[in-house]
Amino acid sequence: MCTAAIIAGGVARRFDGRAKGALAFGATSIIERQIAVLREITKTLLIVANDAAPYAGLGVPVINDEISGAGPIGGIYTALVHATADPVVVLACDMPFIHAAFLRHLVSVDQSADVTIPRTANGYEPMCACYSRRCAPHLRRQIDEGVFKIQELLPHVQRYEIGPDEISDYDPDGLLFYNVNTPDDYARALKCMDSDPSTSSYLDATKKYGGNR
């Protein structure tokens, strides 16, 4: 049993005030695809957002940020406070290529860790990571001290790092942690999906990426 939390934040200025998670992606939206993936690993989901309106009707509770203006670290803190079971899988709302096979590995690889976090050649991926609710007081302390970089949590907790070699078993195309920050990023994501339809199939992703692990 685990909790899954999609960190949706607020509106995106680069997208003319639209919520990134609500952007169309194939026949659905990015966040609807994420919900489908997360429901493969848990039935306990929540969305953390400043505005519930874009996510109404998805069948997932929407929780307002506990601390306004704290950014992603505040979203994670809110998720941990409201989660009903450990561990808590945290996922940014703008990552369209996440799949269930990797998330299962993320949850199961080291259940004693306070944080299980992917580490690529480009650094940590704190917005696709697994947190224990024990981390909530540490995050609150950081926020109160004005330390908003999530990675500052890591020296203070027991962590397991999923390194590049381990990640490669699940990410042969290098798209796993791709996130949509700008309209150009969004266009590239759509192009990837159109050029390789298998990248858009969440429910078939376990067959393509590490399904036998």
**Beta bridge mates, 129:** 90
| Nearest of 129, 210, 206 to residue 162 by alpha carbon | 129
| Nearest of 45, 58, 139 to residue 85 by alpha carbon | 45
**pLDDT class for 196, splitting at 50, 70, 90?**
low
* Structure confidence by residue, pLDDT tens digits, 48-103: 998 889 899 999 999 999 998 999 999 999 999 999 999 999 999 999 999 999 99
User: Is residue 104 within 8 Å of 172, Cβ to Cβ?
Assistant: no
pLDDT at 198: 53
Could you give the CA distance from residue 29 to residue 35 in angstroms, rounded to a whole number? Answer: 10
CB atoms within 10 A of CB 135: 21
User: Is residue 88 within 8 Å of 166, Cβ to Cβ?
Assistant: no
* Structure confidence by residue, pLDDT tens digits, 130-184: 999 999 999 999 999 999 999 999 999 999 999 999 999 999 999 999 999 999 9
**CATH architecture of the domain with range 3-208:** Alpha-Beta Complex (3.90)
Q: Domain extents for the chain?
A: 3-208
Q: For residue 61, give the amino acid letter.
A: P
